[in-house]
Amino acid sequence: MTAPEYPWERPLGAHPRPDGTSEFRVWAPRAGTLAVRAGGVEHALQDEGYGVYGAEIEAAPGTDYEFVVDGEALPDPSSRWQPDGLRGPSRVLDAAAFEWTDEGWAGVRVPELVIYELHVGTFTPEGTFEAAIPYLEGLRELGITALELMPVAEFPGRHGWGYDGVYISAAHSAYGGPQGLAAFVDAAHAAGLAVLLDVVYNHVGASGAAALEAFGPYFTEKHHTAWGRAMNFDDADCDPVREWALQSAEQWVRDFHLDGLRLDAIHAIVDAGAEHLVAAVSRRVHDITPDAIVIAESGLNDPKVIRPPELGGWGCDAAWADDFHHALRVLTTGETEGWYGEFDSLGTLAKALHRPYVHDGSYSEFRRRRFGAPAEDRPPQQFVVFAQNHDQVGNRAYGDRLPEPARRLAAFSTLLAPFTPMLFMGEEHGEPAPFQFFSDHIDAEIAEATREGRREEFAAFAAFGEDVPDPQDPETFERSKLTRQGDPELRDLYGRLLELRRELPHGEAADIAYDEHSGWLSARRGPYLLVTNFADARVHVPCEEPGEIVLATHRPTVEPGYVVLGPLSGVVLR
Amino acid sequence: MTAPEYPWERPLGAHPRPDGTSEFRVWAPRAGTLAVRAGGVEHALQDEGYGVYGAEIEAAPGTDYEFVVDGEALPDPSSRWQPDGLRGPSRVLDAAAFEWTDEGWAGVRVPELVIYELHVGTFTPEGTFEAAIPYLEGLRELGITALELMPVAEFPGRHGWGYDGVYISAAHSAYGGPQGLAAFVDAAHAAGLAVLLDVVYNHVGASGAAALEAFGPYFTEKHHTAWGRAMNFDDADCDPVREWALQSAEQWVRDFHLDGLRLDAIHAIVDAGAEHLVAAVSRRVHDITPDAIVIAESGLNDPKVIRPPELGGWGCDAAWADDFHHALRVLTTGETEGWYGEFDSLGTLAKALHRPYVHDGSYSEFRRRRFGAPAEDRPPQQFVVFAQNHDQVGNRAYGDRLPEPARRLAAFSTLLAPFTPMLFMGEEHGEPAPFQFFSDHIDAEIAEATREGRREEFAAFAAFGEDVPDPQDPETFERSKLTRQGDPELRDLYGRLLELRRELPHGEAADIAYDEHSGWLSARRGPYLLVTNFADARVHVPCEEPGEIVLATHRPTVEPGYVVLGPLSGVVLR
């Protein structure tokens, strides 16, 4: 940690001190007049230079406060607590007051990661951090080692996916706020589970843009993304905006004991400066906890994201690799719509099983360009793969999960791959509830735009009529909650797959072989031979000495010189 | 060289064959109808896929041709010869026909580079390649080792700076076309001079955008630069556009024996793909000639540009470093307008003398952000420094060169620095002619916009009235031609500085010391002590044992314990 050189590098937000006062600091270069109103009393702030203002005033933890910018009371952009939601006051949080019990927690290393993506709002009927705690032991027993919480930064309304958060340092009030999150992380550690947090730095929810803009240029016209103007990470006055994000990343790891972060859609973080914001996040988080795990959701297929800085990389520990999903999805379901079209072969999955960038500089017909770069130098564990995730399920028109016939083989392929596997909550028991796109927008205009956007997105597909679920309908949210009704046998298979996974040596899959025509694919991992059948029919896979059957998704048979697999099934031989 | 995998990777443009035919190939996905008209006859082209069309037809070298796109005859985007200018037909060039005499040419390595930036149009009264040849010997005698030609790609009209070129593979017709260029390079090699070429991939001149767009999406709305829509280097269908640039870079080095390229304004080449276009240019050019020298004009202050690919770099051999210029300019002229303001100290120059990124992650008040990154790992020779260049002279309102009192000390500081020095033509004799901004636009609208743009640019400065030279006035061009009237003594000093430079060891300057108050700065290079005085007054520089005076810009005196320097002067002691 280097000493702050510029005022915006001092702690932003509200920081209580032992004497009952708190230190407030905000970057507000656009404010004509500025004050902090704490406990109903307005206080002036001192000009620290470069548009940064600070004050030390009487305000114990728990005091509500707002910054009054040109007469308008607004939440603190670095707020850590929004007890009354997005438009309510901020509240002084004493992050040191939480009584942690996780001194003995040793953390989890990347090679041991088995990630479980969890949406707090739909994981339980109550939709809170607290309500989720009783299920943690079960997940650990199943073989999960890390939870990945979908975004919890305060977002508009009560429920939503969370990707339109605004107060990036404040745990969502409807989930139980910062105390709820801390208690959840503490309980997870007690259960032997790491907790990773999905954080969104590529945009803020439209409901909050104006509130941030009143303070300063958080956005830039220099670049545009799918969400409009880019966050200002490389234009004039970008340093305090970068710092707003960087300090937020730091506090999650430092004060909430999160074991790491998942950075949303880094391909939409535009930064032409000498240190990309993602590299800066990675550096700052690792400075606090070298073992912290930084995972990028990267649509770039670019291994620089997961290379160390000394090799010109961005220093992330791992990155999502969607191509593996696409190959697996197409082979197990036969769906070839949109970009799925170019993943329609066993050869594609065989390539993805070596390194999951199917596009590693090769031409993508969907993108109409050569895409990606080879990642031979990166160990398999740096790639996060999945058969399902919130996007691949939830961004389908009806949010339907992977169909039943595909589930066992998909789980087999994902959990026994040499990569870091991730499950989407509920898939382990074949959850019947969908995960649909839902929101609870507080601005009528944004609500309508979201509703319309969703309808238009699927209008191109003839199969989807007007019955695409309305995101603003509370029923869409309710319908997406886990029922935990499902298939106990499937859950048992997940447990056995994860048990076997722990026996597999690290390192890449060897002897990858396949028969495009008949549909089988095999690969070796140490002493184990994994044989799979992606065809809809029984297939004879040539096999000199099949050896012992260690695990199977369905009952295979062995004939002299062959192992015979049923449709969409897999077997592990030793 | 890998075999072409996609049709656009085959040679684009016209390529003659020994049998009197030529192979034509063009990427024209937007063409409804397409033909090549050669020697007055229209020929059909075969569809090679992905919007690429090719044909082998009767057309000997020297045949004029055009592509007929939807009924409109247009030059070849990969044209190598535009004998009648931007809007005339292309002509088949037999690049193998030129009789080279440079078999014995051994090239120049980066540590030996002393670059001379040369604008063909104003270097001689005739403004041609041919007319420049008689001066080459003299430049070599002065100590120059490499010429850097300002852009010669066919641009609108007869004269101009060249940065609005369109046919990036065609040497400008008014300069003498491709044969003129080849003869010039051959003569330079005979004289012992390398030739580098300034190439512009960040935009094309507005006069040619429509002609390219008729063929395909050469531009993208995804990114914008100061010139408008960015070149399409990372959006859908970018591969053929990249190839159009990459094959152009290759042919300059392969067919015109250029010793290297200077890539214009790479900070304006927007490319979020896995291999940045600049890295691709560097790789492709080095594949042809490992010793080729790729120099980036980079305003990024980012050492990744000049790191090798295995360290995540873009593989350029060197990059311009403007900060050194700014520090030197401010100290020698006292000018502090605009961005010069933050270079106003001897400490700045002392920093730049170590590594010329003054902004190496530090805050720039002008840019209002932290900028750049440290470049400690890069050897000094990878930075190109200058006291003058076409931009720093020509983009002043009146194009006036460095004023007389500053010249000797500026040359001393630049030529004895551990970096790669570059001169701007004429500075070596204190050329009295300015280098003004001139153009010869063939489109009335663009001419007027250029004229107005120039006026507006300087309107902010009270000192400049309506008399800012009109770029379209032929007199502005004539006025900018070298007169070669100047100061023979200055030329003699340049010769002696370059002679001494050859004695200096490579590697960074040591013992950099300065006195901000009195104005002196000293540094050691091997056995030599360089002492300079940037003050307007005489200064006593403490010096225990001054030793022998090896070279001085002005006559210094030595007093016990001091060397005494006059205003704006330098001395080398040994």
**Interface with B, mutate which of A218, A232, A266, A368 (most B CBs under 10 A):** A368
Rounded to a whole number of angstroms, the distance from the CA of B305 to the nearest CA of chain A is 10
DSSP letters of B393-439? HHTSTT-----HHHHHHHHHHHHTSSSEEEEETTGGGT--S------
Contact yes or no for A371 and B274 at CB 8 A: yes
Q: What is the pLDDT of residue B466?
A: 66
Q: What is the pLDDT of residue B345?
A: 95
Q: Of these residues, B164, B235, B264, B342, which one is catalytic?
A: B264
Confidence of residue B154 (pLDDT cuts 50, 70, 90): very high
Residue A339: CB atoms within 10 Å: 15
Q: Which of B118, B115, B114 is nearest to B482 (CA)?
A: B118
**Which pLDDT tens digit goes with each residue over A120-159?**
999 999 999 999 999 999 999 999 999 999 999 999 999 9
Confidence of residue B554 (pLDDT cuts 50, 70, 90): very high
> Among B272, B301, B370, whose Cβ lies nearest the Cβ of A239?
B370
* Mean pLDDT taken over chain A: 96
Confidence of residue A459 (pLDDT cuts 50, 70, 90): confident
The backbone region for B160, taken as left when phi is positive above 0, alpha when psi lies in -120 to 50, beta otherwise, is: left
Query: Which residue of chain B is at minimal alpha-carbon distance from A311?
Result: B311
Please give the Cα distance from B371 to B138 (Å, whole number): 41
> Minimum mean pLDDT among A16-30, A44-58, B16-30, B456-470: which range?
B456-470
Contact yes or no for B235 and A302 at CB 8 A: no
Q: Is B381:B111 a contact under the CB 8 Å cutoff?
A: yes
Q: Which of A427, A502, A417, A382 is nearest to A139 (CA)?
A: A427
% of chain B exceeding 70 in pLDDT: 98
Please give the Cα distance from B492 to B468 (Å, whole number): 34
This model of the complex carries an ipTM of 0.93
Q: Of these residues, A76, A297, A428, A470, which one is catalytic?
A: A297
Confidence of residue B460 (pLDDT cuts 50, 70, 90): low
Q: What is the pLDDT of residue A365?
A: 94
Query: Which residue of chain B is at minimal alpha-carbon distance from A368?
Result: B236
Give residue B30's identity as a one-letter amino acid code.
R
**HSE of A437, CA atoms in CB hemisphere, 13 A:** 22
**Which pLDDT tens digit goes with each residue over A402-445?**
999 999 999 999 999 999 999 999 999 999 999 999 999 999 99
Residue B263 DSSP symbol = E
**Which pLDDT tens digit goes with each residue over B384-407?**
999 999 999 999 999 999 999 999
Contact yes or no for B368 and A301 at CB 8 A: no
Return the bridge partners of B196, or none.
Answer: B148, B260
Q: What is the pLDDT of residue B463?
A: 62
Q: Is B443:B156 a contact under the CB 8 Å cutoff?
A: yes
Rounded to a whole number of angstroms, the distance from the CA of B6 to the nearest CA of chain A is 9
> Among B238, B275, B372, whose Cβ lies nearest the Cβ of A373?
B275
Please give the Cα distance from A74 to A56 (Å, whole number): 19
Work out the average pLDDT over A338-355: 95
Query: Which residue of chain B is at minimal alpha-carbon distance from A307?
Result: B312
Contact yes or no for A272 and B300 at CB 8 A: yes
Q: Say if residue B2's pLDDT is above 70.
A: no
Contact yes or no for A236 and B367 at CB 8 A: yes
> Among A237, A368, A372, whose Cβ lies nearest the Cβ of B369?
A237
Confidence of residue B56 (pLDDT cuts 50, 70, 90): very high
**Which pLDDT tens digit goes with each residue over B472-515?**
999 999 999 999 999 999 999 999 999 999 999 999 999 999 99
Confidence of residue A82 (pLDDT cuts 50, 70, 90): very high
Please give the Cα distance from A504 to A499 (Å, whole number): 9
Contact yes or no for B307 and A312 at CB 8 A: yes
Rounded to a whole number of angstroms, the distance from the CA of B416 to the nearest CA of chain A is 29
Q: What is the pLDDT of residue B457?
A: 83
DSSP letters of A342-390? GG-SHHHHHHHHHSS-S-SSSEETTTTEE-----TTS-GGGEEEES--H
For residue A264, indicate whether it is catalytic: yes
> Minimum mean pLDDT among A26-40, A151-165, A339-353, B449-463: which range?
B449-463
pTM for the model stands at: 0.96
Work out the average pLDDT over A272-297: 97
Contact yes or no for B361 and A307 at CB 8 A: no
Confidence of residue A547 (pLDDT cuts 50, 70, 90): confident
Confidence of residue A226 (pLDDT cuts 50, 70, 90): confident
Residue A204: CB atoms within 10 Å: 24
Contact residues for A3 (Cβ-Cβ < 8 A; gap 6+): none
Pairing assessment for the beta strands B21-27 and B52-58 based on DSSP bridges: antiparallel
* Mean pLDDT taken over chain B: 96
A49 burial type by CB count under 10 A (0-12 exposed, 13-18 middle, 19+ buried): exposed
> Among A5, A238, A300, whose Cβ lies nearest the Cβ of B369?
A238
Tokens 């059909």 -> residue: B44
For residue A440, indicate whether it is catalytic: no
Q: Say if residue A1's pLDDT is above 60.
A: no
Element holding A181 (H helix, E strand)? helix A177-190
Contact yes or no for A367 and B236 at CB 8 A: yes
Q: What is the pLDDT of residue A467?
A: 80
Rounded to a whole number of angstroms, the distance from the CA of A268 to the nearest CA of chain B is 10
Work out the average pLDDT over B327-339: 94
Contact yes or no for B272 and A270 at CB 8 A: yes
Cβ-Cβ contacts under 8 Å, A236 against chain B: 367-369
**Which pLDDT tens digit goes with each residue over B276-296?**
999 999 999 999 999 999 999
Q: What is the pLDDT of residue B465?
A: 58
Query: Which residue of chain B is at minimal alpha-carbon distance from A372?
Result: B274
Please give the Cα distance from B369 to A235 (Å, whole number): 7
Return the bridge partners of B115, or none.
Answer: B146, B422
**Which pLDDT tens digit goes with each residue over B214-230?**
999 999 988 888 888 99
